[in-house]
Amino acid sequence: MIKRICHFDSNLEDSIFLFGARQTGKSTFLRQTFPDNIYIDLLDTAIKGRFRRHPALLYEMLSDTEKGTLAIIDEIPEVPELLNEVHRLMSEKDIVFILCGSSTRKLKRKGYNTLGGRAYPMYLFPFVSAEIPDFNLQQAVNYGMLPPHYLAKNPHRRLTAYIEVYLKEEIKEEALVRNLNSFQRFLEVAALTDGEIVNYNNIAQDCGVSANTVGNYFDILEDTLLGFRIPAYTKTKKRKLMQAPRFYYFDVGIANHLLHRQELIRGTAEYGHAFEHLVIQELKAWLSYKESTEQLSYWRAYTGQEVDAVIGDARVAIEIKSVEEVLPRHLKGLKTFASDYPESKQIIVSLDPINRKIGNVECIYILDFLKKLWKEGV
């Protein structure tokens, strides 16, 4: 059993929305963490049908339980009408809930009760390096960190099934888009721009839809937790900066599969993109799990200099390069950034096994960086 870093107190006082993309391991995590608590699985067709027909059944079921009782509802977006009963039980009976789901869109779309801020959101991500004994970098870069894919003997087959299930269940059945073929094309184009600055007009031309539709498609990916946008860091008076966000799929294996990438080889551009994506993926999970208020962003000047990751208000700048020897030319972006933000900490993460300082820049081998990230932070 792999122990997850996501942590809940054994005696919860507040209710929680636990969100995570499909197959991140939400159900397994909750069953292992709370084996003796009330557990309602809305992926069970019979159970889901009964609660859909009679949402007040939840109140009847829990109204006589003790104050502070913890109840878990898995895939609450399947029967969002239950949220009214959840709210009622929280208010009248002080029941504590963990409400699990793989999509926020179903709750947003029809204005369902989101409990007026009485349940705070938490997120479960794919595996992170610190959770895996004998972490295999090559496996992660190629196939991603979703538990069923990272641990599989045949991850290609599972990745194919994942995309097909996502399209069928999350998009088609929920009628989130009118033209599924256009959305399929968009998924592939979005993969081509994974880790790049988002240009809605260019993507719209490639997909044969409007720029507004492309914006809506990106919203769907974020709401169904299949992707995320990283904003540009723009606080400066010295130079003109890019303003548009960058987009990443939530797991590097998904992006690789959509691009039909085979086994990635060090030294290729494809490997470099996947390597950067994996580090960004880890940084995003780390900030979330430590409940940090700092934002993850990127920085790019119109003159071309860039930094892949900025943490907080220019507190840390991180360049990510899949090179086996860091050279001065790899530090141009960090040096330009440091001239604008001299108080920042500068790091380059790479495949160079010799950790050292070049001027004010810390050069850290990828595996050492990941260990330090999860033990000490940056």
Q: Which residues of the chain have pLDDT under 70?
A: 109-114, 116, 167-170, 172-178, 237
Confidence at residue 60, expressed as pLDDT on a 0 to 100 scale: 95
Confidence at residue 174, expressed as pLDDT on a 0 to 100 scale: 57
Contacts of 284 (CB under 8 A, 6+ apart): 125, 228, 296
State the residue for tokens 């159970």.
47
Please give the Cα distance from 316 to 294 (Å, whole number): 11
The one-letter amino acid at 131: E
| Contact predicate 220/190, CB 8 Å | no
Q: Which whole-number Å values give the CA distances from 291 to 6, 116, 120, 285, in the listed order?
A: 10, 21, 12, 10
Pairing type for strands 345-350 and 96-101 reads: unpaired
Residue 230, both tokens: 């990283």
Rounded to a whole number, what is the distance in angstroms from the first to the last CA of the chain?
28
96: three-class secondary structure by DSSP:
strand
Please give the Cα distance from 186 to 203 (Å, whole number): 8
* Strand residue runs (E) in the chain: 15-19, 38-41, 70-74, 96-101, 119-123, 227-230, 246-249, 296-300, 306-311, 316-320, 345-350, 356-358, 361-365
Confidence at residue 9, expressed as pLDDT on a 0 to 100 scale: 76
Q: What string of H, E and C letters represents the secondary structure of 283-295? A: HHHHHHHCCCCCC
Confidence at residue 264, expressed as pLDDT on a 0 to 100 scale: 94
Q: Which whole-number Å values give the CA distances from 70 to 25, 44, 80, 81, 272, in the listed order?
A: 20, 20, 19, 20, 45
Confidence at residue 153, expressed as pLDDT on a 0 to 100 scale: 86
Q: Where are the alpha helices (DSSP H) in 290-343?
A: 332-340
State the residue for tokens 């540009």.
232
Give this prediction's pTM: 0.93
**Going from the N-terminus, what domains does the chain have, and what CATH number goes with each?**
15-123 (3.40.50.300), 129-375 (no CATH)
Confidence at residue 292, expressed as pLDDT on a 0 to 100 scale: 95
Residue 128, both tokens: 């992170």
Confidence at residue 177, expressed as pLDDT on a 0 to 100 scale: 67
Please give the Cα distance from 310 to 196 (Å, whole number): 15
CA angle 310–346–360, rounded 5-degree value: 165
